[in-house]
Amino acid sequence: MSSLIAKGVNTCVNKVFLNECIKANAKSCGECIQVGVKCGWCMDPATSTRCDELESLRKRGCSSAMVENPRGSQLVLKDKAVTNRNQGEGKLRPEDITQIQPQKLTLSLRSGEPQSFNLKFKLAEDYPIDLYYLMDLSYSMKDHLENVKNLGTQLMLEMSKITSDFRIGFGSFVEKKLRNPCTGDQNCTSPFSYKNLLTLTRNGQEFNTLVGQQQISGNLDSPEGGFDAIMQVAVCGEHIGWRNVTRLLVFSTDAGFHFAGDGKLGGIVLPNDGKCHLENNMYTMSHYYDYPSIAHLVQKLSDNNIQTIFAITEEFQPVYMELKNLIPKSAVGTLSANSSNVINLIIDAYNSLSSEVILENSKLPEGVTIMYQSRCKNGVTGEGEMGRKCSNISIGDEVFFIISITAKQCPKMGKPETIKIKPLGFNEEVEITLNFICECDCHKHGIENSEICHNGNGTYECGACRCNEGRIGRQCECSTNEVTSEDLDKSCRKDNGTDICSNNGDCVCGTCECKKRENPEERYSGKFCECDNFNCDRSNNKLCGGHGHCECRVCICDANWTGSACDCSLDTTTCLASNKQICNGLLFFVNHNAKCIVTCQCPVFHRECVQCRAFGTGEKKDTCERDCSYFNLIKVKDRGKLPQPGQAFPLMHCKERDANDCWFYYTYAVNNKTEKEVHVVETLDCPAGLALLLIWKLLMIIHDRREFAKFEKEKMNAKWDTQENPIYKSPINKFQNPNYGHKAVVL
């Protein structure tokens, strides 16, 4: 029984804990190493299971030199140190300033094995800034325009405290030109979608002059077409004059915004294409393309490293705060009623944006994942999405990120891929080339059309055959037209285990062919070669003790022999009494102890009959008279009164325990008249606690019977009132024929 249980447990273990390397059923080294980082490939042709966990391969006898287990690696190609202005002399060009390190590296990725590297970011001093002021020129912004006219020189003065290289530009927007809302008595210009009025310049006075020449316009509804303008500012870099420096876009309005889908109200159904359409610094396709969506804007602002500052009147703060949550590296400031605080708003927003660095990556190839960990100022750390950013950074501070990239699988083409990681709002980035380890080194030394692979039907590589198209099997011996290619080896694994043909044979087209032994008398057998005739238990250095034969690793014993090694004799000569009777002619059963010695035991059915006849208990108490009348019962007071050995007839002393853990003692004998006699001690030998329990039980039975009898007596003496309810009326009516019983009248 125990061996069967153990066998069942092993089967369950194999099914539940079958490792992923075996489960993948890899046919080549390349397929094996792509399953997971724990998997290795054994190049030894003598090994039946090639792809397995490294420790399992070692236990199977595959030497380290024969195991293919390529590992991932990384190589830094460009590692320019971040700029330290204290060591530099004079003013640096933007392209000479480095804020992120390293800049370029190559990672070789093995499936399931992450490659990690450190990224450093340092906010440089005196970093150039380009600021483009995009203003709503609808009629409600008339007072704001007056205060913006002197913005250029004042902002240049304030920004000089942050950077010595500052440029400013100006643009305006109203709405799509569908109808002119201006009347004849209003001093306003015709509506327009977007104008680039001033390319980025270092001349603050020019900004003031040009803004002073602007006039307000108007539109028909409250929301404005600012999204059209933001899109053009983002994608028309050549017209705006953006440099590869910090790019700030100040968006100033006192109204909401139109977004994708609103253009249908004016008959515009084509979605925004996200391209530049400026002619003579005017957006020319506002009547042709719909407003861009928020997601489209986010993409273009990120692609062009533009950080947005929304300068909004208090009324629309909630709306633009929600928009800010959707646009990374953006800030919202509250404009006063006439924009008198616009400079302080810009400075505060810039300080807020520059104090936070957020990393983003380009689109990842299929099956590739990336994880971030941040190491910020004052020991602050972050993981997951929080691992992408650090806050409260000041100029000159260094922060660090640990970036881990993992490939879950090889791309379909297996070609290198390039991804980029950059801090949002900055032009610098890390370029990472991903190489995927999809083949083993031994793959390079494969022999095409090898004779080993069934007459050249495959390439012999890494100690195994990689079959040509249309061929399958360990030696490519099968055609896909003849057998299924789903898993040939599966049908050769017993109980879905790990060993092919129990490691005692080869799987040929889904069938086990057992190995031959040097000794022709020894052989493997069974569907999975799981049986043999030479691995049974031995006794005295003989297979099955010389008293049986071995079948499927189990001894089949000859007559009169038993035991796992057929080393226990069933000979009963040791139990013969002087009268030549086994156990003196008593009923018995043969008991084999650890030394395989045959002994006599008290029969079980004697015990049951003694119990029922002497004490009225036991399994035969209901059939006692029928089954237990074959002996004479004699009760004695104590054990000293039992018959003792030495009498003329055979005698057996027995000691048995009943269901209540009480012992009883008796002897069994056959007298000279061939009559069976049983002497039994009339009292049970019970533990003290049990005796008390029995007494308590007896008292409870007596008490219950008395109470029941009292109840029955009271019930008999009860006098019930049988008077009927005076208002009760029976539902049964009786009718009788008045002539019933009278003679009929003669007419």
Residues in the chain: 747
Q: Is the pLDDT of residue 585 over 70?
A: no
* Average per-residue pLDDT for the chain: 82
What mean pLDDT do residues 477-505 have?
A: 75
Of 232, 256, 249, 284, which Cα lies nearest the Cα of 138? 256
Give the tokens for residue 629.
């009348």
More confident residue, 285 or 9: 285
Q: pLDDT per residue over 677-705, tens digit each?
A: 889 999 888 776 666 777 778 888 888 88
Domain range 73-85+94-125+359-437, its CATH number among 1.10.3470.10, 2.60.40.1510, 3.90.1150.10, 1.10.4030.10: 2.60.40.1510
Q: Is the pLDDT of residue 316 over 80?
A: yes
Q: What's the rounded Cα separation, in Å, for the pair 248 and 133? A: 8
pLDDT of residue 106: 96
Of 634, 346, 461, 416, which Cα lies nearest the Cα of 32? 461
Q: Is the pLDDT of residue 721 over 60?
A: no
Percentage helix, strand, coil for the chain under 3-state DSSP, each rounded to 5:
25, 25, 45
What mean pLDDT do residues 487-516 have?
A: 79
- DSSP-assigned letters across all residues of 485-532: -S-TGGGGBGGG-SSBGGGTEEEETTEEEEPBPSSTT-BEESTTS-EE
Structure letter (DSSP) for residue 291: P
Mean pLDDT highest for which of 102-116, 222-236, 251-265, 337-351? 102-116
Q: For 129-357, CATH number?
A: 3.40.50.410
Is 268 within 8 Å of 213 (Cβ atoms)? no
Is 261 within 8 Å of 226 (Cβ atoms)? no
pLDDT of residue 107: 96
Contacts of 73 (CB under 8 A, 6+ apart): 107, 108, 115
Q: For 15-70, CATH number?
A: 3.30.1680.10
Q: What's the rounded Cα separation, in Å, for the pair 370 and 115? A: 10
Q: Which fold has domain 604-681?
A: Hormone receptor fold (4.10.1240)
Q: pLDDT per residue over 305-314, tens digit each?
A: 999 999 888 8
Matching residue, tokens 């009559």:
675
pLDDT band (50, 70, 90) for residue 739: low
pLDDT band (50, 70, 90) for residue 223: confident
pLDDT of residue 8: 40
User: Which alpha helices (H) appear in 509-648, and where do they start and end?
Assistant: 604-615, 624-627
CB atoms within 10 A of CB 50: 25
Mean pLDDT highest for which of 447-461, 584-598, 707-721, 723-737? 447-461
Q: Amino acid letter at 445? A: H
What mean pLDDT do residues 540-552 have?
A: 90
pLDDT of residue 736: 63
Torsion of CA 631, 637, 638, 644, to 10 degrees: -50
pLDDT of residue 7: 39
Q: What is the pTM of this model?
A: 0.60
Q: What's the rounded Cα separation, in Å, for the pair 476 and 185? A: 92
pLDDT of residue 421: 95
Give the tokens for residue 60.
């199977």
Beta bridge partners of 412: none
Torsion of CA 571, 577, 580, 581, to 10 degrees: -80
pLDDT of residue 730: 66
Q: pLDDT per residue over 384-442, tens digit each?
A: 999 999 999 988 899 999 999 999 988 877 789 999 999 988 889 999 999 999 999 99
Give the tokens for residue 538.
């031995």
- Domains of the chain, by residue range, sit at 15-70, 73-85+94-125+359-437, 129-357, 604-681
674 phi-psi bin (left φ>0, alpha ψ -120 to 50, beta other): left
Radius of gyration of the chain from its Cα atoms, rounded to whole angstroms: 50
Q: What's the rounded Cα separation, in Å, for the pair 229 and 132? A: 12
